[in-house]
Amino acid sequence: MADATISAVFDVYRFDPSKDREPRYQRFALDLAPHTPVLSALLQIRAEQDPTLTLRYSCRSAICGSCAMQVNSKSRLACETQIGPEMERHGRIVIEPMRNQAVLRDLVVDQQPFWQRYDSIEPHLILDPSHPMPEDRATSMTPAQVERFKETPRCIACAACYSACPAVSADPAFPGPMALAKLYRFVVDPRDSATQERLVRIQPNGLWLCLRCHLCTEACPKDVRPSERIRDLKELAIQVQGGTEAGSKHAIGFKENIRERGLLSEMKLVRQTSGVVGLAAQAGQGLRIWRKKPEIARRPHRIEGLDEVEKIYEALDRPPQEGS
Amino acid sequence: MKLAYYPGCVAQESGKELDLATRWVCRALGIELAEFPTFSCCGSGFVDEANEVLNVAINTRNLAIAERAGLDLLTICSTCQGMLTLANVRLQDPAVKRRVDGALKPLGIEYRGSVKVKHLLRVLTEDVGLAAVKAKVVRPLNGLKVGAFYGCHLLRPADEMQWESGEEPHAFEDLLEAVGATPVYYRGRVMCCGFPIQFVKAETAQRIAAHQIDDAKAHGADAMATPCPLCHISLDSFQNQAARTVGHRLDLPVFHLPQVVGLALGASPEELGLARHLVPTGPALAKVAPSLRA
């Protein structure tokens, strides 16, 4: 027996930059089964109520990545998001275009910058000319080698991660979660000969702007887990180069900082990351905070059992390979 | 109820007011805090970036300390909560566990995996319970509109943190209602505060912080409240710089979670360390009771 229908209310973002001065929300009401995908509802709205509603879609099976949009502020594929839970949680379904991309019309956004960032990481194998791929057979990888990047090939380039990312919103220098997850895939691919160059190039080009907020990992419909791949890239970059950027200096500085006393020495960390000049530049702000919170200048107490922490470092923290 | 109290670094130093407020609230609600001078820093996400297995190992040591005492762990920082939980999760990978055990066993440290890591927000909403918190309210925060600001690592990745929805949580708003405040729902409540890149690119970090503060204000908040002292640094200690970066005033007080609860349970502003904030909390306090001064 079919599910009973529910009265679903859609507030759909409408905007035609060639005509409208600003966007508006148009309300549509439909009686639908709770398991109805948002995309099916929108297509029904277009067929029955407003033929001008503009959206991008193709496969309706969560494979093509075309129908990503915001459903109640979450970046989602419309074809695999059911209306029932959304109505239950929010009492209505607000449909908006993806964020961080200019709206061309209604729910269709300009994906050009997203693809430009993807292209910037050179998303193809870079081969060593002295070791050409054999022409008569496929190159093989061991299961362990494939295991290292098993999540990334699942990516369908829907840009849900790009839409969810606050670093993309705030800074055009950040390549975005998908581009970095794809970069990781080539960095660890044993057939690629440019691993080190790729890591050296990305360090000053946005790698350390990732906030590790994991919003991309929540948004990703294919469980690529971009934030975790970005973390992996950071560790690999440090292994190759050590601390060359503020971000890698900060991560290394933090690691060394807590080794000394077991707890963080806040002022020392600022000096480790920013240097004496950076510390001086922050002096005004530091003073302002110190007046209210004098502990900021204090060294923390030494924890008991610090020798255990030291031994854990000795066992697991090998110094980065200098100059390699 | 007795828990192993893991204050984290900031609450022991520049965020001392968070520690003060936590102790006050726990005393008021009958939560006994066991203290361990052996706890180390959780690595704050930065050690995880530099060396994942090392980060798991130092947190496994922290977890083992609580396990030896037979206690679950109480955190008061979203990032501590995230890193300690992550250690529990990553230890399920046999390759990680082998390396961590290899470093810890020679020190006589063994961790069986029994410790639950619980943030104060979860303890108050689930273990103490909203009804019990509400029953102790003597100064309901009527009329105070508060924008909860969760802090990423308390929620995400949601399949690893195993608690609230990663994008649509409600525990903090439920708690705010229980103490009489009016929760403000705004998109920024689950967003990033910018803290992780404060020392990478301050301007970007500040723009992100300002965005969330503006969002809370646009939805009518008189104040924000956060369960994370690192968010508090970004939103309160650096709010003046965020305002300068975006070129307009922000002026929004930011409470630590136990300060909001403590206020409702009758603590004085001094007992909660409110005078230590960079953004004055006075205007928000005046909405609760005209006589209150930070």
- Residue extents of the structural domains in chain A: 6-108, 112-132+142-241, 246-317
pLDDT tier at B202, thresholds 50, 70, 90: very high
B204, A170: Cβ pair inside 8 Å?
Answer: yes
CB A63 within 8 A of CB A77: no
A255 touches chain B (CB under 8 A): yes
CB nearest A292 (choices: B43, B211, B278): B278
pLDDT tier at A324, thresholds 50, 70, 90: very low
Q: Across residues A101-129, what is the average pLDDT?
A: 96
Q: Across residues B40-56, what is the average pLDDT?
A: 97
* Spatial separation of the C-alpha atoms in residues A71 and A97, rounded to whole Å: 9
B211, A170: Cβ pair inside 8 Å?
Answer: yes
B103, A309: Cβ pair inside 8 Å?
Answer: no
* Spatial separation of the C-alpha atoms in residues B197 and B254, rounded to whole Å: 20
- Polymer length in residues for chain A: 324
Beta strand segments in B175-235, E: 182-183, 223-226
* Spatial separation of the C-alpha atoms in residues A214 and A208, rounded to whole Å: 14
Residue A2 in this model has a pLDDT that exceeds 60: no
A266 touches chain B (CB under 8 A): yes
B33 touches chain A (CB under 8 A): no
Share of chain B above pLDDT 70, in %: 100
Buried b (16+ CB within 10 A) or exposed e, B124-136: bbeebebeebeeb
Report the Cα A317 to chain-centroid distance in Å: 27
* Spatial separation of the C-alpha atoms in residues A106 and A47, rounded to whole Å: 16
Angstroms from A311 CA to nearest CA on chain B: 8
B275, A292: Cβ pair inside 8 Å?
Answer: yes
pLDDT at B279: 98
Q: What is the pLDDT of residues A284-317, one digit of tens each?
A: 888 899 999 999 888 888 999 999 999 999 999 9
A305, B48: Cβ pair inside 8 Å?
Answer: no
Question: Residue A279: its chain B contacts at CB < 8 A?
Answer: none
pTM above 0.90, yes or no: yes
pLDDT at B80: 98
Q: How many CB atoms lie within 10 A of CB A264?
A: 24
Residue B190 DSSP code: G
- Of B238, B22, B10, the C-alpha closest to A254 is B10
Q: Across residues B226-252, what is the average pLDDT?
A: 97
Q: What is the pLDDT of residues A159-179, one digit of tens each?
A: 999 999 999 999 999 999 999
Q: Which amino acid is at A157?
A: A
pLDDT at A100: 97
Structure tokens at A21: 């001065």
Angstroms from A80 CA to nearest CA on chain B: 17
Least-confidence region, from A179-188, A264-273, B185-194? A264-273
Question: Cα-atom radius of gyration of chain B, to the nearest Å?
Answer: 19
Per-residue DSSP letters for B81-141? HHHHHHHHHHTTSHHHHHHHHHHHGGGT----S-PPEEEHHHIIIIIIIHHHHHHT-SS--
- Of B193, B112, B218, B129, the C-alpha closest to A211 is B193
Report the Cα A297 to chain-centroid distance in Å: 35
Residue of B nearest to A227 (CA): B157
A293, B15: Cβ pair inside 8 Å?
Answer: yes
A112-132+142-241 has CATH 1.10.1060.10 classification? yes
Our CA angle for A250, A117, A79, nearest 5°, is 110
Residue A322 in this model has a pLDDT that exceeds 50: no
ipTM above 0.90, yes or no: yes
The interaxial angle of helices A195-202 and A177-187, nearest 10 deg, is 150
Q: Which CATH class is domain A6-108?
A: alpha beta
Q: Which residues contact A147 (CB under 8 A, 6 or more apart)?
A: none
Residue A323 in this model has a pLDDT that exceeds 70: no
Residues 283-302 of A with CB under 8 A from B: 285, 288-289, 292-293, 295-296, 298, 300
SS3 content of chain B, % helix, strand, coil (to 5): 55, 10, 35
Residue A114 in this model has a pLDDT that exceeds 90: yes
pLDDT tier at A3, thresholds 50, 70, 90: low
pLDDT at A299: 85
